[in-house]
Amino acid sequence: MDNLSNISVIKDILIRHGFTFSKKLGQNFLINPTVCPRIAEMGNAKSGFGILEIGPGIGVLTNELAKRASKVVAVEIDERLMPILDETLAEHKNVKIINADVMDLDLHKLIAEEFSGLDVAVCANLPYYITSPIIMKLLKDRLPIKSITAMVQKEAGVRLCAPLGTRDAGAVTVAVDYFSKASILFDVSRGSFMPSPNVDSCVVRFDIDENGVKANDEEFFFKVVRGMFSQRRKTLVNCVSGSLGLDKQRVLSAIEKTELSPTVRPEQLTMPKMIAFADNLMAVIQK
């Protein structure tokens, strides 16, 4: 169905199916016809690509993805949307809808089964209540994907894409930066959605970086990062010794090995220094 972002078409579908929006599931559907084609174009929806979509809603973005990509698999948690998606996507033979919570799925298995022989990218207008956990799952699971292109709350987008060393950067920014190159593509006003949320949004893209420097033990690295950003005003030594329950002298010894000042603050560390610090701390602990 091509005029899916037309508000009277959407209202007609929703009324016919007796659908009411669930705030709990972050259901704000796109009604601005210019946005979905842009997400699809900028999100690698093209021949030779399989697209994993999270939260298709009534299928407005799915429709644009299906027109361009070789295959689309869309994961939607809300069972009530199944008959609607059957109707709105009926003309596309390259779309499969899975009724599930994306957080419960084995995405490695899904990609292997559904996208054999294709490059893979993720596209989504994400439910805001679960934006960071979904992005972290997609990145930390090291899925064989080229990019993630997602609509997120403006504030979350700024945090996710902040350059390290700036005020907006936090533990989640470090994780994003560790696995990908992140950028904000464009802003989307609150009036582009139904119902209209009380915040603006933006579309971000993460291009997966397979060649960056990696920590010796990733689980430990992210534990250290969470500790580093738990009380970011403190010095690195106080933050990390406090949050990880480690002896200060040991943490100082790792700081020294990393050629950092003993009074350095967590947000002053570059990515290579963070990785080196976590590796050195691990070595000190294991001694």
Interface residues toward ligand SAM, by CB under 6 A: 25-30, 54-57, 60-61, 75-78, 101-103, 125, 127, 130
Q: Long-range contacts for 14-19 (Cβ within 8 Å, ≥24 apart)?
A: 14/58, 14/84, 17/80, 17/83, 17/84, 19/80, 19/81, 19/84
Nearest-approach distance from CB 189 to ligand SAM, in angstroms: 14
Residue nearer to ligand SAM on the CB measure, 26 or 227: 26
Cβ distance to ligand SAM smaller for residue 54 or 110:
54
Residues 6+ apart with CB under 8 A from 202: 151, 152, 153, 154, 157, 158, 184, 185, 186, 187, 188
- State which residue has the least CB distance to ligand SAM: 55
What separation in angstroms does the CA of 59 have from each of 1, 15, 72? 9, 16, 11
The least distance separating ligand SAM from the CB of residue 77, rounded to whole angstroms, comes to 4
* Alpha-carbon span 116 to 212, nearest angstrom: 26
Decide if 50 contacts 70 (C-beta within 8 A).
Answer: yes
Sign of CA dihedral 133, 197, 74, 182: negative
Q: Nearest approach, Cβ of 105 to ligand SAM (angstroms)?
A: 8
Of 28 and 180, which has the nearer Cβ to ligand SAM? 28
Query: Which CB sits closer to ligand SAM, 40 or 224?
Result: 40
Which residue's entry shows tokens 């093209």?
46
72 or 236: CB nearest ligand SAM: 72
How far apart CA 244 and CA 247 sit, in angstroms, is: 9
Locate 82 and state its tokens. Answer: 């199944």
- Cβ–Cβ contacts within 10 Å for residue 188, how many? 23
Which is closer to ligand SAM, CB of 39 or CB of 175?
A: 39
- In sequence order, the 6+-apart residues with CB closer than 8 A to the CB of 130 are 26, 103
Write out the E strands in the chain: 29-30, 49-54, 71-76, 95-99, 119-125, 147-153, 180-188, 193-194, 201-208
**CB nearer ligand SAM, residue 90 or residue 103:** 103
Nearest distance from C-beta of residue 61 to ligand SAM, angstroms: 5
Residue type, 236: L
User: What is the nearest approach in angstroms of ligand SAM to the Cβ of residue 44?
Assistant: 17
The number of beta carbons lying within 10 Å of the beta carbon of residue 97 is 19
Minimum Å gap between C-beta 152 and ligand SAM is 10
Q: Which is nearer to ligand SAM, 72 or 172 (CB)?
A: 72
Residue 31 Cβ vs ligand SAM, minimum distance, rounded to whole Å: 8
Q: Output the smallest distance, CB 94 to ligand SAM, in A.
A: 17
